[in-house]
């Protein structure tokens, strides 16, 4: 058995308010705990999106009554809310800005709309950007112009990780995260039936083997592992216009522990990128008496049927992994024992509540 700190996932789509048939604060935080994640930061592309006082309060109220692990809620950067989100900032995990298209309605097309946010935002937490390829380069230019810390979400491409390496070396205040699906899948997984293709829709898209290799070769540039847990139901994924996104909270740790067992990653790197760095980057509180007990020798196959997420599927179905969560202790309380969730709804705390 080994002991890890409670993991922190800075990129989770909880789906509440508005799309609780996919997930809600209860099921998302059960999935988190089952996966050894004791703190999640929730993305703002809900329905409605979280972009003002009313919607922030709506999300935080749902979280307060239902969350079983600790949490923070992002604000979304909209076309005209820069002053308001800066005012609401102490209640938020950080600010999320979408420069590229994805699920939801928060994309900011016009660069003049970015300026106000870069000028006003002063934390807590960096500006987190969905910015792929050349949009990412634009985001780095803005970070430098405004001396503003930015965090690049779900880096997937060789050109991105190498550009971030250069930017860091030149003093740009940039950090970044990579998701397990971009470390373990390539776009060749897309070869096959149309049903499978719908399931594998995700933004950023799965990339080439060269891209995946570049992520593994530049682990030192990757600050955080984040799941981008983005649950959609199987009916939606297998239907017409499949929405992009994978669930990930319950597969993060077994996949990473398997990489450790294979010698591709050290346990120290795992802890640094799934706990130490997210905590520092987002200025998150310590969770006293919190730990995850893992049987690092346990070998088994990942099965959605055994998972807590409401979405009912995983892109890693049947994958053989090594390393199973046996127990999770959160703030002195046993909250998971052998797959059973013992924490009640409402046990989770808001990381920004004073």
Point out which residues bind Zn ion (CB under 5 A).
228
Residues 216-275 that bind ligand DOR (CB under 6 A): 230, 243-245
Q: Is 21 in the site for ligand DOR (CB under 6 A)?
A: no
291 binds, among ligand DOR, Zn ion, none (CB under 5 to 8 A by kind): none
> With CB cut-offs between 5 and 8 Å by kind, which of Zn ion, ligand DOR, none does residue 314 bind?
none
Pick between residue 150 and residue 230 the one whose CB is nearest to ligand DOR.
Answer: 230
Q: Of the two residues 11 and 324, which places its CB atom closer to Zn ion in the complex?
A: 11
- Report, in Å, the least distance between residue 298 CB and Zn ion: 30
- Per CB under 6 A, contacts with ligand DOR among 38-77 are 45
Kindly report the backbone phi and psi dihedral angles of residue 40, in degrees, each rounded to the nearest multiple of 5, phi listed first. Answer: -125, 150
Nearest to 250 by CA among 329, 320, 185, 303: 303
The residues, any chain, with a CB within 8 Å of residue 276's CB and separated by 6 or more, are none
CB of residue 139 vs ligand DOR: minimum separation in angstroms?
15
Question: Which one among 20, 27, 29, 102 touches ligand DOR, defined by CB under 6 A?
Answer: 102
Q: Which does 102 bind (CB under 5 to 8 A by kind): Zn ion, ligand DOR, none?
A: ligand DOR
What is d(CA 141, CA 154) in angstroms, rounded to the nearest whole number?
Answer: 19
229 DSSP β-pair partners: 12, 246
Least Å from the CB of residue 103 to ligand DOR = 4
CA dist 91 and 59 (Å) reads 11
Per CB under 6 A, contacts with ligand DOR among 175-214 are 202-203
> How far apart, in Å, are the Cα atoms of 157 and each of 52, 201, 271?
33, 16, 23
The DSSP secondary structure of 71-129, one letter per residue, reads EEEPEEP-TT-HHHHHHHGGGSS-EEEE-S--SSS-B--SHHHHHHHHHH---SS-EEE
Q: Of 203 and 291, which CB lies nearer to Zn ion in the complex structure?
A: 203
**Alpha-carbon span 13 to 245, nearest angstrom:** 9
**Contacting residues toward ligand DOR, per CB under 6 A:** 13, 45, 102-104, 130, 202-203, 230, 243-245
């Amino acid at each position: 058995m080994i002991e890890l700190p409670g993991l922190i996932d800075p990129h989770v789509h909880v789906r509440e308010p508005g799309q609780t048939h996919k997930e809600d604060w209860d099921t998302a935080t059960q999935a988190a705990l089952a996966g050894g994640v004791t703190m999640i930061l929730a993305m703002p592309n809900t329905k409605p999106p979280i972009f003002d006082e009313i919607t922030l309060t709506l999300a935080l109220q749902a979280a307060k009554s239902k969350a079983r692990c600790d949490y923070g809620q992002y604000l979304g950067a909209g076309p005209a809310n820069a002053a308001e989100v800066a005012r609401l900032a102490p209640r938020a995990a950080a600010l999320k800005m979408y420069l590229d298209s994805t699920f939801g309605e928060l994309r900011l097309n016009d660069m003049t709309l970015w300026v106000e946010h870069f000028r006003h935002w002063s934390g807590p937490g960096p500006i987190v950007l969905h910015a792929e390829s050349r949009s990412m380069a634009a985001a780095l230019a803005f970070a430098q112009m405004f001396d503003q810390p930015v965090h690049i979400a779900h880096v997937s491409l060789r050109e991105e990780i190498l550009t971030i390496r250069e930017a860091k070396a030149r003093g740009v205040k940039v950090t970044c995260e990579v998701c397990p699906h971009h470390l373990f899948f390539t776009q060749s997984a897309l070869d096959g039936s149309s049903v499978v293709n719908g399931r594998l829709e995700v933004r950023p898209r799965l990339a080439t083997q060269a891209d995946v290799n570049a992520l593994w070769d530049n682990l030192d540039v990757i600050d955080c592992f984040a799941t981008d847990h983005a649950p959609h139901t199987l009916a939606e994924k297998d239907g017409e216009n499949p929405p992009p996104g994978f669930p990930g909270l319950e597969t993060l740790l077994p996949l990473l522990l398997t990489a450790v067992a294979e010698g591709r990653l050290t346990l120290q790197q795992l802890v640094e990128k799934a706990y130490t760095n997210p905590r520092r980057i987002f200025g998150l509180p310590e969770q006293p008496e919190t730990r995850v007990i893992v049987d690092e020798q346990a070998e088994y196959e990942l099965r959605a049927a055994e998972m807590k997420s409401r979405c009912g599927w995983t892109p890693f179905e049947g994958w053989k992994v090594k390393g199973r969560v046996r127990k999770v202790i959160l703030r002195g309380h046993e909250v998971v024992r052998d797959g059973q969730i013992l924490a009640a709804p409402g046990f989770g705390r808001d990381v920004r509540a004073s």
